Amino acid sequence: MNPTDLIVPHALDPENLDRADYANSLAAEALRVGLYSEADITRIRGDMMNALAEVIGYATGGESSSVKTDSARKFAKSLLYNIDTYLLSLPTPDAAAAELRERRMSELYGKGYVLNKKRYEDAKHLWAKVRYSRLKDADEAYNKTLDRYFRNYLAAYDPRTSAHDKIYLSMPKQRIRGAFHIDGAVEVLKKLLALNEGRPADAVVIEGSQPILHETTGKPEQNS
């Protein structure tokens, strides 16, 4: 008899789940309570590498299965961010754990990519509306945010290979400050649009936004 057969599964403890590293913490917690076996963890890890190879293949146009270490790290972060995005969209941790165990990592990545691509399209649309309705007497931080920081961020963003990228903002007058992923960028733009239109902003922008995943190193010089 396999020793894991003697383990009676218990409920996942939300306190042990890290939204900033959701798939990894979910797998660890599912193993701890007996929902996963060591074989499940091995399969997930192996399939994660297969999915990463697919992302690298996309990024290189199918010409290579290997890239420099820095590029591989970037693609791995994008892969995990997309997977986490999808898992976090599910109604319960148990539902997320079931998906993580039963589905291929490339499928989870694809589902997260669809969600982040929609956020990206929303961000571009909102950015255009905010610039069109911009405040005429805005301060320098406001104008730089629209004309430089958001322009550069949206131009470089790719929900396939850089889904985890953040925009660093400091707008004291609008009480917006922090590092934001694409979901947070959408909320910032919603707030700016509401301010432009003269109405109280519905969006509550929390510093750093949620989820903040897979920290990047350093802060872009453009926002220094």
Angstrom distance (rounded) from CA 178 to CA 168: 6
| HSE, side-chain direction, 13 A CA sphere, residue 60 | 16
> Is this model's pTM higher than 0.75 or not?
yes
Q: Residue 10 corresponds to which amino acid? A: H
Domain ranges of the chain: 7-111, 118-223
Q: Provide φ and ψ at 178, rounded to 5°.
A: 145, -175
Residues 6+ apart with CB under 8 A from 21: 80, 84, 213, 214
Amino acid identity of residue 176, one-letter, is I
First CA to last CA across the chain, in angstroms? 60
List pLDDT tens digits, range 48-107.
999 999 999 888 876 666 678 888 899 999 999 999 999 999 999 999 999 999 999 999
What's the rounded mean pLDDT across residues 106-113? 98
Distances (CA, A) of 195 to 26, 64, 135: 39, 47, 9
More confident residue, 19 or 223: 19
- The model's pLDDT over 145-166, given as tens digits with 9 standing for 90+, comes to 999 999 999 999 999 999 999 9
